[in-house]
Chains A and B, each alone.
Chain A
């Protein structure tokens, strides 16, 4: 493989990482809102959250991407395909992250909040100082897991015309007649990326365990 072609593969890998990272972050933001809505005692908030979660967890990501890609123009919004891809990935991961976060919030031991009650922290102060920090620590492993899943699932966005790592490997395999080579390189690059994320996650978890994260 020429250096130029390898550079193309690297560039595509970078694209995969950037799109996945943006989607994870946006998904975390939306996931927090959905989680808050779902935990709300108000049915007007919790019901839409439940519907959101069951839709985005129940419909295959591939179908979601195709839906969004075709739905946006149909309602008169024309966006570059990469935006449709990020929207699709973000909404999908948001549903999973909302559920992870809800699990985290629900796992904060009740006694820790009673201790906070006893020293006079208001509900808002308890959320800020006790519940959220502990819930995030409890959610961290699931978040790392989700990041890896999204990195791999991002290969699906090629269906809406985004040229990321998998699509690049496909294109180069076709034009050079060396599929084995390019798919091997793509696989290796995915592995390196996921290992890095997993390693970073493990480090963060270790720091969070003693509380320093």
Chain B
């Protein structure tokens, strides 16, 4: 069985038909014990565009992203990646059936995930991190994998750090290696969970620039971020999550423009102090 799937054609942003959504979230709820963290989410992430997911702390952004990647199992609802169910498939009776681990791995490997904490493997070099899945999962020859891996590191501007271990890299460099690691598998969608939130302020720029490049290259991105400036300038769609509900989902103009939804206005207030208001 091959985990390699052909890349889906990149559609234009506008008027994306349902079937061509890169990620389709249908009726997803998530409870941890008695707390309902996601209260019924329907979201369509258009192919070839950047969607930014914003919202107050604790609103469920990470949980939604983790449900999409099936790192967390949604309590109800389904996820599709370019039409293929991830984790659960909808049964004819309306219920869900759990898919096999092989199917989960195959569909999941079409998603690239970038974590807030980088999660690089500390015992492998930057290049080792990028090549690991190419060799272990995709069964590439080491030399071929390293060539491909070096190309990914160049893409994030770190070819000269290939032999460094994560502990020898700055936070910004580590996050760029993590992006290269995800890119190496040619994902159809890249998910970012606050990729700059654990970085020193002077290091966020280099990571955001890499993401801007990816967005510009027509890749499908879903970005959870507190960088409202980035969302407003790079995001082509903005989804605003509040208390586990998707309150708003539209273009930056629709979402940020006046009149603003009172909850969003209240949320944006918190950014006024940080000088980001000028950007939105």
A residues within 8 Å of B by Cβ?
109, 111-112, 114-122, 125, 129-130, 133-134, 137, 208-212
A80 to chain B, nearest CB (A): 41
Question: Which of B9-17, B32-40, B115-123 is found at the contact surface with chain A?
Answer: B115-123
Q: Chain A contacts of B238 at CB under 8 A?
A: none
User: CA separation between A210 and B128, bound complex, in Å?
Assistant: 13
Encode B153-164 as 1/0 by CB contact (under 8 A) with A. Answer: 000000000000
B115 contacts A111, C-beta separation under 8 Å: yes
What's the dominant secondary structure at chain A's contact region?
Answer: helix
Give the distance to chain B from A51, nearest Cβ to Cβ, in Å: 33
9 closest A-B pairs (Cβ-Cβ)? A119-B133, A120-B109, A115-B119, A111-B119, A211-B123, A118-B113, A120-B137, A211-B165, A120-B105
- CB-contacts of B131-179 with A (<8 A): 132-133, 136-137, 165, 167-168, 178
B119–A109 CB distance below 8 A: yes
In the assembly, what is the distance between CA of A112 and CA of B101, in Å? 19
- C-alpha gap A114/B119 in the complex (Å): 8
- In the assembled complex, which residues on chain B have CB atoms less than 8 Å from the CB atom of A114? 71, 113, 115, 119
Mask: chain B, 98-111; 1 = CB below 8 Å from A; 0 = not:
00010001101101
The CA-CA distance from A212 to B125 in the complex, in Å, is 9
A130 to B121, CA, bound (A): 7
Q: How many A-B residue pairs have CB under 8 A?
A: 73
Question: Which B residues lie at the A interface, using CB under 8 A?
Answer: 3, 69, 71, 101, 105-106, 108-109, 111-113, 115, 117, 119-125, 132-133, 136-137, 165, 167-168, 178, 181-182, 185
Structural contact, B123 and A119, CB atoms closer than 8 A: no
Do B123 and A134 touch (CB < 8 A)?
A: yes
Q: A118-B108, A211-B124 are in contact. List 20 more A-B contacts (CB 8 A).
A: A109-B117, A109-B119, A111-B117, A111-B119, A112-B121, A112-B122, A115-B119, A116-B121, A117-B108, A118-B71, A118-B112, A119-B182, A119-B185, A120-B105, A120-B108, A120-B109, A120-B185, A121-B133, A122-B105, A211-B165
CA distance A112 to B129 in the complex (A): 11
Q: How far is the CA of A82 from the CA of B63 in the complex (A)?
A: 58
Distance (Å) between the CB of A109 and the closest chain B CB?
A: 7
A sample of 22 cross-chain residue pairs with beta-carbon separation below 8 angstroms, ordered by A number, consists of A109-B117, A111-B115, A115-B113, A115-B119, A118-B112, A118-B113, A119-B109, A119-B181, A120-B108, A120-B137, A121-B132, A121-B133, A121-B137, A122-B101, A125-B137, A134-B121, A134-B122, A134-B123, A210-B167, A210-B168, A211-B123, A211-B125
